[in-house]
Amino acid sequence: MKKFLVAMLLIAPTLLFGQSTLEGTWRTNMDQSKLSQKPYVFSLVGGMYECSTCVPKINIKADGSDQPVTGQTYDTLSARVDTPGTVTFTGKKDGKTVFEQTRAVSADGNSLNLKTTSYSKMNDKSVQTEVTFARLAQGPSGADPSSGSWKINKLKESDEGLTTTYKWSGDALNMTQPTGQSYTAKLDGKDYPYKGSYSFDSVSLKRVDDHTIEATNKREGKVISVDTISIASDGKTLTEVVNNKQTDRTSTFVSEKQDYEAAK
């Protein structure tokens, strides 16, 4: 999905105020966050897997072999039916595994459980994600039970994918995550390198008002997401509205400030 989460930042009337409220480690509270309810639609029928809501759409042989795809964070995808209603996927980039995922349908066919391991580009850490979907519509006649239209019901993610640490370096902001993703960017609207991420390779930050900024994340020059990020008046809560420009999905993530001294 989080995926992984993009940069969170506050701009305050003075740099000193911005430093005191932003610096430290933030952890996303998924119970308070709201994920896009736009349906996900995919099917596996006649030995072919198709994701019609993926951008670009994906259509590959479901024979367990690596199949080429374009426009994704991975360049090959394999799909393998283990048993009816249980399917395993593996995405790779330049031969390196980006993620492994198992999808399993409930006995009544009304829910779908996705367990994903996403691998870091920069270190040996991985992120474990579990997503539960509720069925909206059945798949085509004769399709695997995992097929159909689904909406997200609940998401759980390991700490490596939920925490982000920020520190000022002069007038630039340094962001780091446990999985090795990082950037150092000024608040001038210019593109700066986003390191260690399969999702983004550049980021630009600009001020909206004293408590809000806009972060634009790109991959290969194309805008992937535009995020509106604000902080509560007590400096303890960050709210990030993520607008995925590829899929037209908008989700809201709420993060809580952790003990900075303990996190250093």
Question: Is 221 in contact with 212 (CB distance < 8 Å)?
Answer: no
- The pLDDT confidence band at residue 15, using thresholds 50, 70 and 90, is very low
The pair of structure tokens assigned to 65 is: 């072999």
The pair of structure tokens assigned to 72 is: 């994704």
pLDDT of res. 261 = 45
Q: What does the alpha-carbon distance between residue 200 and residue 92 come to, in Å, rounded to a whole number?
A: 16
Tally of CB atoms within 10 A around 123: 13
What ranges do the domains of the chain cover? 15-30+162-263, 40-159
The pair of structure tokens assigned to 115 is: 């367990």
pLDDT digits (tens, 9 = 90+) for 70-128: 999 999 999 999 999 999 999 999 999 999 999 999 999 999 999 999 999 998 899 99
- The pLDDT confidence band at residue 255, using thresholds 50, 70 and 90, is very high
Average pLDDT over residues 166-173: 86
Q: What is the CATH number of domain 15-30+162-263?
A: 2.40.128.20
pLDDT of res. 17 = 34
Question: Is 180 in contact with 196 (CB distance < 8 Å)?
Answer: yes
pLDDT digits (tens, 9 = 90+) for 51-68: 999 999 999 999 999 999
Cα–Cα distances in Å, from 13 out to 209, 211, 245?
9, 9, 30
Q: What does the alpha-carbon distance between residue 134 and residue 184 come to, in Å, rounded to a whole number?
A: 39
Sign for the CA dihedral angle at 9, 11, 17, 19 comes to positive
Please give the DSSP secondary-structure letter assigned to residue 211. Answer: T
Percent of the chain exceeding pLDDT 70 equals 91
